């Protein structure tokens, strides 16, 4: 292989990969390495990727070979590929497919390929795996009770062995979901749904689609429902999201109102039923841990012959829903999300229990194609007033973030920022209710929190959509599933510590394309010389990875 110093990649022995974004050959290199690497950061000139086991297994599960991965790095690298990187890729990616689950009467078979007898012996002796296995059939085959399918996949990925699950799916009750003739399905939306479904093969039908907020993940879900053609259960983050799904389903498919229903205990289930994660994980009164009645609504999963379960915002799955998902591996499962980042580090559980990443599109690619709005990001820094600075100095560490976040000077700077966008539809969002109530009173604006009745929320959201209300103040209930396409400005006055998820989702509230092509503006107000500055930097990491750069303004000069 001849190495070219004009190439855009530098591959290092620690499996990090640097891409010169300014290089004329960068686009071709990025397209080739994106499927099997994880983007770590993407500032203006030098982007950093990393080769990880999960990134390799996601690519291998989609059919990419280790040889193709090594060749892609080598062809675009400035310098010779480190030997250990090529070896690591071949060994790690080569693990995919060596451990399989296959159907066997009412149980399953865990199999390894011929010559891997020692691997099966090793796995069978592992203390977390041994209790999940059944009878040994041969040196390469052991039975697995069907009920252990999900838990076994979790345990195996924990020890570094991903499972190629070929055990197939149980069909649910047939139910056709015809799409509306007026619905224009974008090419990438159809590609995403088909990548999940894979022509209905036994290996298809489970996995995750990653698309930016505003890119139409709901449409991807509806196309998947039409491909599967069976009863569907949709799990989502909150009732606002439930209502949005129902509106979209009734406007973009030929389903009738009786076909689509929110889950309410004691009422008949519809062919398309929607339920929030909060409802699903609601605890029964007086129940103890380990009691089967602890989560009485978990039975929803077995109350109907679902052919497809859709997990909206899959990166937010609560731990009890992971347990539930481990028990429904025979159902087709589609995860929808803007980011696979989990603050609890459980990305491996999403891979094992929902499925591999089947489709991904960079946010900036969708922006360049006009499918999501252009957005500018600005961090406005301001000092704490002297009396608050003293309060911050003597506060316990656990309270410092809140003191900084509720900086009263933010209310003055907020008005200055708003003055830059007079007349534009605007959202103000924050973490702390006292702060938001003060802002609402300052601006004579409606405040929507978790205590706001659902009917009142919907009334205000609809007034915003129709232009009768130009400003809403939102608590963290505004982080997800807000269908407010005309919002052009979002000002973040406080947030949940260093949450990259939250930062991405809040920017996502602005990314619906604007009718006149106008750009969106995302501001975050940060107290200088406090822990909030550090948290703000961490919050911004995911968006930096997607190519968004933050301008920095001084609050006094806005």
In this predicted model, what pLDDT tens digit does every residue of 319-343 receive, in sequence order? 778 777 888 888 899 999 988 877 7
327 and 474 both lie in a single domain? no
* Rounded-to-integer distance, Cα 417 and Cα 489, Å: 10
Q: Would residue 2 count as lying in a domain?
A: no
* Inter-axis angle of helices 53-61 and 66-76, nearest 10: 120
Whether the per-residue pLDDT at 536 is higher than 70: the answer is yes
Query: Which residue segment(s) compose the domain that 196 sits in?
Result: 187-286+293-361
Poorest-pLDDT segment among 288-302, 337-351, 414-428, 460-474: 288-302
In a domain, 170, yes or no: no
In a domain? residue 109: yes
3-state secondary structure at position 25: coil
SS3 of 411, please? helix
Give the domain CATH number at 412.
3.40.50.300
Contact by Cβ (8 Å): 208, 356: yes
The model's pLDDT over 194-217, given as tens digits with 9 standing for 90+, comes to 999 984 555 568 999 999 998 999
DSSP calls for 169-200? -----B---PBPTT----HHHHHHHHHHHGGG
* Measured distance CA(53)–CA(103) in Å, rounded: 27
300-317 average pLDDT score = 83
**Listed residue (459, 488, 494, 455) closest to 474, CA to CA:** 494
* Domains held by the chain: number: 4
In a domain, 4, yes or no: no
3 within domain boundaries: no
Whole-angstrom Cα Rg for the chain: 25
- pLDDT on residue 471: 97
Average pLDDT on 292-318 reads 78
User: Between these two residues, 500 and 145, which has the higher pLDDT value?
Assistant: 145
Give CA 66 to chain center in angstroms.
Answer: 26
Residue 542 has pLDDT above 90, yes or no: no
My answer on whether 503 and 538 are in the same domain is yes
Q: With H, G, I as helix, E, B as strand and everything else as coil, classify residue 280.
A: helix
In a shared domain, residues 241 and 157: no
Sort 230 into a burial class: Cβ within 10 Å, 0-12 / 13-18 / 19+.
buried
Tokens 């004329």, residue located: 24
Rounded distance between C-alpha atoms, residue 275 and residue 297, angstroms: 10
Mean pLDDT of 22-28: 93
Sign of CA dihedral 318, 202, 63, 33: negative
| Angle, alpha carbons 64-70-74 (nearest 5°) | 135
Helical ranges in 8-139 per DSSP H: 26-33, 53-61, 66-76, 83-93, 117-124
- CB neighbours of 424 closer than 8 A, spacing ≥ 6? 470, 488, 489
Residues 470 and 513 in one domain: yes
Tell me the per-residue pLDDT of 84-140, one tens digit each, with 9 for 90 and over.
Answer: 999 999 999 999 999 999 999 889 999 999 999 999 999 999 999 999 999 999 999
Distances (CA, A) of 121 to 111, 139, 169, 256: 11, 8, 28, 54
Rounded-to-integer distance, Cα 41 and Cα 56, Å: 18
Domain's final residue, options 361, 378, 405: 361
Torsion, CA 314, CA 320, CA 326, CA 329, rounded to 10: -50
Helix (H) or strand (E) run with residue 41 in it: strand 38-41
What pLDDT score does 302 carry? 65
> Is residue 157 domain-shared with residue 204, that is, in the same domain?
no
Same domain, 151 and 227: no
The separation between the first and the last C-alpha atoms of the chain, rounded to the nearest angstrom, is: 54
User: What tokens does 236 get?
Assistant: 């989502």
Q: Could you give the C-alpha distances from 249 to 244, 369, 552, in angstroms and in order? A: 9, 25, 41
- Of residues 480, 448, 452, 482, the one with CA closest to residue 465: 482
Cα–Cα distance, 467 to 492 (Å, whole number): 21
Instruction: Write out the two tokens for 92.
Output: 């790690």
Instruction: Give the integer Cα–Cα distance in Å for 131 and 456.
Output: 51
Stretch (H or E) spanning 243: helix 239-252
Provide the pLDDT for residue 225.
Answer: 97
Q: Does any domain span residue 172?
A: no
Contact call for residues 71 and 33 (beta carbons, < 8 A) = no
Residues 120, 193 within the same domain: no
Claim to verify: residue 351 and residue 492 sit in the same structural domain:
no
Q: Is the same domain home to 345 and 464?
A: no
Q: Is residue 433 part of a domain?
A: yes
Do 351 and 382 belong together in one domain?
Answer: no
| Pair 346, 381 in one domain | no
Q: Specify burial of residue 175 (Cβ count, 10 A radius: 0-12, 13-18, 19+).
A: buried
**Structural contact between residues 259 and 270, judged by C-beta atoms closer than 8 angstroms:** yes
| Mode of pairing for the β-strands spanning 206-210 and 164-165 | unpaired
DSSP element (H, E) containing 207: strand 206-210
Q: Is residue 67 part of a domain?
A: yes
In this structure, are 14 and 68 located in the same domain? yes
Tell me if 249 sits within 8 A of 222, measured CB to CB.
yes
* Confidence tier at 318 by pLDDT (50, 70, 90): confident
Question: Where a domain ends, among 326, 361, 396?
Answer: 361
Q: CA-CA distance, 402 to 391, in Å (whole number)?
A: 11
Which has the higher per-residue pLDDT, 543 or 221? 221
Within 8 A by CB and 6+ apart from 192, the residues are 209, 211, 220, 358, 359, 361
CB 473 within 8 A of CB 439: yes
Q: Which of 47, 64, 93 is the last residue of a domain?
A: 93
């Amino acid at each position: 292989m001849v190495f070219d110093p004009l190439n855009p990649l530098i591959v290092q022995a620690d499996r990090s990969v640097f891409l010169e974004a300014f290089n004329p050959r960068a686009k071709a290199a990025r397209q080739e390495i994106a499927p099997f690497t994880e983007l770590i950061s993407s500032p203006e000139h030098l982007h950093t990727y990393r080769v990880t086991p999960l990134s390799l297994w996601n690519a291998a599960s989609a059919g990419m070979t280790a040889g193709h991965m090594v060749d892609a790095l080598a062809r675009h690298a400035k310098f010779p590929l480190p030997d250990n990187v090529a070896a690591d890729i071949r060994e790690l990616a080569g693990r995919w497919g060596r451990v399989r689950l296959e159907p066997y009467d009412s149980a399953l078979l865990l199999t390894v390929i011929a010559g891997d007898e020692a691997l099966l012996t090793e796995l069978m002796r592992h203390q977390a795996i041994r209790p999940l296995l059944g009878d040994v059939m041969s040196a390469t085959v052991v039975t697995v009770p069907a009920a252990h399918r999900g838990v076994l996949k979790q345990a195996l990925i924990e020890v570094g062995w991903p499972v190629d699950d070929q055990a197939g799916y149980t069909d649910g009750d047939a139910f056709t979901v015809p799409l509306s003739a007026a619905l224009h399905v974008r090419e990438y939306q159809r590609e995403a749904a088909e990548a999940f479904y894979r022509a209905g093969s036994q290996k298809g039908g489970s996995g995750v689609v990653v698309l930016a907020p505003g890119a139409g993940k709901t449409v991807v879900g509806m196309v998947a429902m039409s491909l599967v053609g069976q009863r569907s259960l949709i799990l989502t983050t909150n009732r606002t999201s439930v209502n949005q799904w129902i509106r979209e389903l009734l406007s973009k498919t030929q389903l009738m109102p009786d076909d689509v229903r929110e889950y309410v205990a004691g009422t008949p289930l519809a062919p398309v039923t929607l339920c929030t994660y909060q409802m699903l994980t609601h605890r029964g009164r007086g129940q103890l841990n380990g009691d089967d009645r602890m989560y009485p609504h978990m039975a929803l999963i077995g109350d109907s012959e679902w052919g497809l379960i859709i997990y909206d915002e899959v990166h937010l799955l609560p731990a009890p829903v992971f347990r539930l998902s481990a028990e429904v591996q025979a159902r087709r499962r589609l995860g929808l999300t803007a980011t696979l980042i989990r603050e609890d580090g459980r990305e491996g559980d999403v891979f094992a229990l929902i499925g591999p990443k089947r489709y991904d599109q960079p946010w900036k690619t969708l922006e360049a194609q006009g499918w999501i709005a252009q957005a500018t990001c600005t961090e406005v820094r301001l000092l704490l007033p002297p009396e608050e600075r003293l309060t911050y100095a003597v506060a316990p560490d656990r309270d410092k973030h809140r003191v900084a976040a509720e900086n009263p000077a933010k209310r003055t700077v907020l008005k200055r920022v708003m003055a830059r966008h007079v007349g534009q539809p605007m959202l103000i969002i924050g973490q702390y209710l006292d702060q938001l109530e003060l802002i609402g009173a300052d601006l004579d604006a409606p405040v929507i929190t978790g205590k706001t009745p659902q009917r009142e929320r919907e009334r205000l959201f609809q007034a915003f959509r129709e232009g009768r209300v130009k400003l809403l103040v939102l608590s963290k209930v505004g982080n997800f599933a807000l269908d407010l396409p005309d919002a052009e400005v979002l000002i973040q006055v406080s947030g949940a510590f260093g949450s990259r998820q939250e930062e991405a989702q809040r920017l996502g509230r602005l990314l619906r394309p604007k009718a006149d092509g106008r750009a969106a503006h995302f501001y975050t107000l940060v107290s200088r010389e406090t822990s909030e500055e550090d948290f703000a930097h961490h919050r911004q990491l995911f968006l930096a990875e997607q190519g968004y750069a933050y301008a920095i303004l001084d609050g006094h000069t806005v």
